[in-house]
Structure 1
Amino acid sequence: MDLSTEIQRRRSFAIIAHPDAGKTTLTEKLLLYGGAIQLAGHVRAKRDRKKTKSDWMTLEQERGISISTAAMQFEVNGHILNLLDTPGHEDFSEDTYRTLMAVDCAVMLLDAGKGVEPQTIKLFQICRSRNIPIVTFINKMDMPARDPFELLDEVERILGIAAVPMLWPIGSGRDFKGVYHIADDSVYLFERTTGGAYRAPVDVKGLDDPELKEMIGDELYASFREGIDLATGALPSFDKKEFHEGKITPVYFGSALTNFGIELFLKEFLAISPAPEAIRLRDGTQLPTSEQFTAFVFKLQANMNRAHRDRVAFVRIASGVFERGMTVFVNDKKKTAKLSSPVSFFGQDRSTIDQAYPGDIIGLINPGLFAIGDVLFTGNAPEFHPLPRFAPEMFARLIPEDTSKMKGFRKGIEELAEEGVVQVFTREHDASPVIGAVGTLQFEVFRFRIQDEYGAPCRLEALGFECSRWIRPEDKSKFSSYDLVLNDDRGNPVVLFKSEFRMKSFQREHPDVPLYESPHLVEVADDKK
């Protein structure tokens, strides 16, 4: 196939949701209906069930949470899907933000009983800032649920985007009977069985068919018909162009746990979601998808294969054709890399690939050559927007507890710092690094992985600092003993403040000393001089 045909076959997307909305369950059911797996394992599976494919890390499987980005590539009806299962916990928002830089579309998963939740809002705003089209799936309709109109109104009122129902639910909770496909005038009925939900459309002669009323009951039928009449009369209809522009979100209803509506949703998603498009560069121009090869590293992961102790760079192909064994420049042409061991992912499993196209997510075995944000290219270097780096708000000193394990301790800090699990700061003549994070779970994960993956027991000692800012090297001497000046993993100076009040006091006293929320902003300021 030619390049344009390959691009049109591809869909690169992520699932965004508040914790416990059913994100990992939905991910597995999409894989199940895509034919990628034969058995879907419950997130908190019994020991004799299959482990979830997307949650591969030991701590994830123990606690039933997603704390790492998993990449899965599989084929459905001639389409190549690149699915990124992002961390659901808010403490890992920086990792999620970087991941969303690598997709063309997002599926926003809502709990039918809870609606729009805080983490959903944050993730939606990230998608909105990048103009990523969003498809909404309202999950857990077989559980007690809120009124569909109330849920749609909340999406529009809180998120500021028009919600367009593509399906309409017939009841909810114990009275959930199925969904009505508005465009196709088809009814899909649900029944509780040990083998899953009934998915085939029911052959009814329009909504006024007496058989439909008999199937679902008079009272529920009356409520359902009233809802359909209001929805089709008062709510906007679906427009693919407006969806791709981020002006509307198509809405689907179903239940991931019972399999109901997932196969239908997947079919619709393939039809309406966008293929990879030209990426907009920092100067406002767009990078053509068909010319030179370009890609960027958006994530690093250590120890995906515990037997080999390898590090993998997750790379998004932006333009051109990737070929196994090709040699590319990295960042500024000062170094090159031969890409001889590319792999595609399916959770922890991987397979060697020979070619990849725009929209594909591939893995490169990383012997310390690549860093997050690196650009790989042939020809001229493209100016991509930089990947974000957040200023930490919590800090702790990591102290080794067994001096005989110092080699593993140092190696774990170095490799996990590259991943961005936490940010690592150091000070001269101090062997214990300071780690910074947005939330406490990041600390717990970092300490657990140092011990579990590198065999180096250690403990955390909380530090009394609440905010941080990057500074210019020439300003390091202008801070008092109340503040802690450190260096990040790339040698950039960072100052830690006891409180936001202390930081603002410093700014008032030293208006000539700029404080920056990321090292990139320091570079931008230097460039403007």
Structure 2
Amino acid sequence: MPGQRQTEVAALAAIGMQTRGLAGEANSELLRNIGISAHIDSGKTTLTERILFYTGRINAINEVKGKDPNKGAKMDSMELEREKGITIQSAATYTQWKDTNINIIDTPGHVDFTVEVERALRVLDGAIMVLCSVGGVQSQSITVDRQMKRYNVPRVAFINKLDRMGANPDKVLDAIREKLRLNAAMMQVPIGLEENHDGIVDIVDQVAYTFHGPNGEEVRKGPIPEDLADKVEMRRMELLERLGEVDEEMEEFFLMEEMPEPDALRAAIRRATIANTFVPVFMGSAFKNRGVQPLLDGVENFLPSPLDMKYSYLDLADEEASKPLACDAKAPLVALAFKLEESRFGQLTYVRVYQGSLKRGMFIRNSTTGKRVKLPRVVRMHSEEMEDVDEVGPGEIAALFGIECSSGDTFCDADIKDFNPSMLTMFVPEPVVSLAIKPKDRSDSSGNFGKALQRFQREDPTFRVKVDNESKETIISGMGELHLEVYLERMRREYKVDTIAGMPQVNYRETITQRAEFNYTHKKQSGGSGQFGRVEGYIEPLSEEEIQEGKEFVFLNQMIGNAIPPEYVSSVEKGFQESMEKGVIVGHPLQGVKVVLVDGSAHSVDSNEMAFKLAARGAFRQAVNEAGPVVLEPVMKVEIQVPEEYQGTVVGGINRRRGTILESDMEDDLATIQCEVPLKEMFGYSTEIRSATQAKGEFTMEFKAHEAMPQHEAEELIRKYKEAENDS
């Protein structure tokens, strides 16, 4: 009986959960911290819903965007998420499959919320990369893959939606290898596709799985269908060949043309997956309840436990030396705050414990701020629900109440002296779109407008707020139009503040194109001690190598001797760096500049830090005007999918928007167009593509780089900037 089964599984899970938090290596070995990431609309949240159901964590399946807005997917707890049918915030939960405890973070697919994926992968040991069997490797799939590689996160792939018209897992596997350059092989062969999809054949154990019952909870084993025997054998040899490329033991079997025992094959797959040299590929249809349980077996068998991963911290008490972390409950505590949320009880701080244990009532220290605090409450999250626990051990993910901190802060034992660890911070992309906003109710006596902006900034490092010095307007910046729209809607719903928003503004940048020298003296004498500082050198564009390393500003001191006293050199660097904040053409920040200091002079009485900072600012203004300054605009990578009959119309529209078509693929009467378009030209495109394709077209975009703006476009921008300067 399905109901009885759910009750039994839930009871077993509850018994398992009670053992969680008993810190120790045995517990860590049976733990998996995984994220579920993919391109938008690939079925991540639907897959998570099935995982929670099959592990007994929830008793009923709800769809991502059902008829009842109060019954959305468990992990989409925000009302706005259930209405739009998308994931906006990453959500954490935990469950148990057989003997293994699993912490799961379901992340957004839309590129505007990419920081949610970034910070989830920062603290996870493994991941499931979900791919659509029709769409294959899409633009956000490539972004997610890049993020996983940045943090060396091992992953398994899951080709979803095998029930869709046009499903082609073989083509998706080829795209994984070619577009993502991953050494991947299928672990399964599908039994039928599209409306005939009925199950999968396990290549390792050579057994067929079919899924029965109202929700696919009954998994039946059977022999391999005769018509699939040759394909299974071919895929099995291909699996051995791919493993042989990265594993010596499997290479011997492949060269001897022998097939290893299933246990030996599984062990090799696990070794290679954890080493990030191999990606096992699973498949099924989460929506049709097929293939999820074997995927859970893959998570248990192949993804790493915290004990399998090697992490390190920077020791602030030892000149930031890198030191290894031990997944040991008895070692000194090291925990990273990776996500903040506002709840009805105050700030909720999500942490990953890397070493030691977190216990309710213990004193911890924020190594970033040095603040010592008692830990009043520790909880585990199940989407928006909480479960109080007394202790969490190494490798665990939990949430804390009553702790004031910032995202990226490191916590340690308050009572251990000379232990000051700091975890490496995550990569945070720069915002590309800005809006001027103000509350409709000018009085806003409750101050909710300011409270909301303050909270959103703490929660999301890609959401920025500033007040323009000249117009006194409040400017919010983010990763895209949808990103900012969501925050304005959340402000209205959660804080009862209606806002008036201006037109979206593009975050331009400026740079230089040639070398220019400077020799500037700052001198001020007005009675008493004055100010004196002279700096000499040159500025030049950064090299391609430096730009690829992610550098935006480089300062080199090439003075011979101490023409400028050493204590003032840092003030010179600071002066130049502060000058980068406002360019000379359109007032936007500069990037890609190298400053080389070769000489200078100081006065025994009148020289000080401020004098050299002001000298650097003057020198910078002098040199930038002679260094061929240009305006840079953000250019977006855009992927558009439209029916074939609308392809010409869409390409024409992209050309009108100054876009560059990179490639165009056709499959099953569906055209996929890859292009690059300036962000300035993409405003309002969602309306255009809907009307041009009768609402059958869709697109995604993500930031690529800042690139030089055409001169005629830049001149218009410069004219408007000068007019605004004159008016002020």
Report Cα offsets for 1:396-454 as digits up to 9, x if no partner. Answer: 11211112325010110111111116112234576532111111111011101111111
Q: Which runs of 4+ in 1 moved over 6 A?
A: 469-472, 502-506
Report Cα offsets for 1:155-174 as digits up to 9, x if no partner. Answer: 11111111121111122112
Deviates more, 1:393-402 or 1:463-472: 463-472
Q: Distance in 2 between matches of 1:49 and 1:225?
A: 46
Q: Distance in 2 between matches of 1:195 and 1:19?
A: 24
Alignment partner of 1:247 out of 277, 284, 303: 277
Corresponding position of 2:523: none
What is the total number of aligned residue pairs between the two structures? 474
In the alignment, structure 2 segments of 5+ residues that lack a partner are 1-21, 244-267, 315-320, 511-551, 554-572, 591-628, 635-705, 710-728
Q: Distance in 2 between matches of 1:501 and 1:453?
A: 34
Deviates more, 1:268-277 or 1:99-108: 268-277
Corresponding position of 2:455: 415
Per-residue deviation at 1:312? 1.2
Q: 1:372 to 1:127 in 2, by over 3 A?
A: same
Q: 1:454 to 1:430 in 2, by over 3 A?
A: farther
**Would you say 1:260 and 2:290 are equivalent positions?**
yes
Identity of aligned residues (%): 26
Per-residue deviation at 1:177? 2.9
Structure 2: which amino acid aligns with 1:450? M
Report Cα offsets for 1:206-265 as digits up to 9, x if no partner. Answer: x4xxxx44xxxxxxx2xx334223212334345221110111111111110121111122
Report Cα offsets for 1:325-349 as digits up to 9, x if no partner. Answer: 1111102462112111111100011
Corresponding position of 1:457: 498
Q: Distance in 1 between matches of 2:394 and 2:470?
A: 47
Report Cα offsets for 1:335-386 as digits up to 9, x if no partner. Answer: 112111111100011111111112222112256x111111111231223211
Q: Distance in 2 between matches of 1:234 and 1:264?
A: 20
Q: Distance in 1 between matches of 2:630 and 2:52?
A: 47
Per-residue deviation at 1:48? 8.3
Partner SS for 1:500: strand
Structure 2: which amino acid aligns with 1:111? C
Q: Distance in 1 between matches of 2:140 and 2:282?
A: 20
Alignment partner of 2:237 out of 233, 240, 243: 233
Deviates more, 1:166-175 or 1:43-52: 43-52
Corresponding position of 2:410: 375
Matches within 5 A, 1:128-139: 128-139=149-160
Structure 2: which amino acid aligns with 1:225? A
Q: Distance in 2 between matches of 1:130 and 1:140?
A: 28
Report Cα offsets for 1:122-180 as digits up to 9, x if no partner. Answer: 01111112211110111111222444332211111111111121111122112223211
Deviates more, 1:460-469 or 1:65-74: 460-469
Corresponding position of 1:296: 336
Q: Distance in 1 between matches of 2:198 and 2:489?
A: 45
Corresponding position of 2:82: 61
Corresponding position of 1:352: 388
Corresponding position of 2:536: none
Corresponding position of 1:286: 324
Partner SS for 2:162: coil
Structure 2: which amino acid aligns with 1:364? L
Q: Distance in 1 between matches of 2:311 and 2:81?
A: 33
Q: Contact between 2:380 and 2:399, CA under 8 Å: does it hold in 1?
A: yes
Alignment partner of 1:140 out of 145, 158, 161: 161
In the alignment, structure 1 segments of 5+ residues that lack a partner are 214-220, 487-496, 507-529
Q: Distance in 1 between matches of 2:484 and 2:69?
A: 31
Q: 1:499 to 1:360 in 2, by over 3 A?
A: farther
Report Cα offsets for 1:468-504 as digits up to 9, x if no partner. Answer: 6988863445633721579xxxxxxxxxx99516988
Structure 1: which amino acid aligns with 2:220? A
Q: Contact between 1:66 and 1:88, CA under 8 Å: does it hold in 2?
A: yes
Q: 1:174 to 1:84 in 2, by over 3 A?
A: same
Q: 1:80 to 1:67 in 2, by over 3 A?
A: same
**Would you say 1:474 and 2:575 are equivalent positions?**
yes
Corresponding position of 1:325: 361
Deviates more, 1:224-233 or 1:174-183: 224-233
Q: 1:364 to 1:430 in 2, by over 3 A?
A: farther
Partner SS for 2:128: strand
Per-residue deviation at 1:88? 1.4
Q: Distance in 1 between matches of 2:362 and 2:134?
A: 50
Q: Distance in 2 between matches of 1:116 and 1:98?
A: 22
Partner SS for 2:444: helix
Deviates more, 1:277-286 or 1:121-130: 277-286
Q: Which of the pair has the greater relative contact order for Cα pairs under 8 Å at 6+ separation?
A: 1
Q: 1:481 to 1:150 in 2, by over 3 A?
A: closer
Alignment partner of 1:17 out of 29, 38, 54: 38
Q: Contact between 1:133 and 1:245, CA under 8 Å: does it hold in 2?
A: yes
Q: Contact between 2:207 and 2:221, CA under 8 Å: does it hold in 1?
A: yes
Q: Distance in 2 between matches of 1:78 and 1:197?
A: 18
Corresponding position of 2:632: 500
Report Cα offsets for 1:253-281 as digits up to 9, x if no partner. Answer: 11101211111221231122111134133
Deviates more, 1:423-432 or 1:435-444: 423-432
Largest Rg, 1 or 2? 2
What root-mean-square deviation, in Å, do the aligned CA atoms of Structure 1 and Structure 2 show?
2.7
Q: 1:419 to 1:501 in 2, by over 3 A?
A: closer
Alignment partner of 1:270 out of 291, 300, 304: 300
Matches within 5 A, 1:155-170: 155-170=176-191
Q: Distance in 1 between matches of 2:380 and 2:345?
A: 18
Q: 1:485 to 1:401 in 2, by over 3 A?
A: farther
Q: Distance in 2 between matches of 1:454 and 1:309?
A: 16
Matches within 5 A, 1:195-234: 195-196=215-216, 199-202=219-222, 204=223, 207=224, 212-213=225-226, 221=227, 224-234=228-238
Q: 1:498 to 1:464 in 2, by over 3 A?
A: farther
Q: Distance in 2 between matches of 1:86 and 1:499?
A: 35
Corresponding position of 1:396: 435
Q: TM-score, normalised by structure 2?
A: 0.61
Q: 1:169 to 1:252 in 2, by over 3 A?
A: same
Q: Distance in 1 between matches of 2:439 and 2:150?
A: 41
